[in-house]
Amino acid sequence: MDEKAAVAVFECLSSGVRLGVFRLLVKAEPVGIVAGDIATALDIAPSSLSFHLRTMTQAGLLRVEQEGRFLRYRANLGLMSEVVGFLTENCCSGVAGGCRDADILSGRIPGCGSSNPARESKA
Partner DNA sequence: TCCACATTTCCAAATTTGTTGAAATATCGT
Partner DNA sequence: ACGATATTTCAACAAATTTGGAAATGTGGA
Contact of residue 42 among a second copy, DNA, none (CB under 5-8 Å per partner type)? none
Convert residues 1-40 into a mask of x (bound to a second copy by CB under 8 A) and - (unbound): --xx-xx--xx-xxxx--xx-xx--xxxxxxx-x-xx--x
Rounded to whole angstroms, the Cα distance separating 8 from 54 reads 12
Query: Residue 41 Cβ, how far from DNA at the closest point, in Å?
Result: 11
Closest to DNA by CB, 69 vs 108, is 69
**Smallest Cα–Cα separation from 22: which of 32, 110, 109?**
32
Rounded to whole angstroms, the Cα distance separating 8 from 13 reads 9
**Smallest Cα–Cα separation from 36: which of 52, 49, 25, 23?**
49
Rounded to whole angstroms, the Cα distance separating 30 from 27 reads 8
Residue 63's DSSP bridge partners are 74
Residues contributing to the site for a second copy (CB under 8 A): 3-4, 6-7, 10-11, 13-16, 19-20, 22-23, 26-32, 34, 36-37, 40, 67, 70, 72, 77-78, 80-81, 83-85, 87-88, 90-95, 101, 104-105, 107, 109, 112-113, 115, 117-123
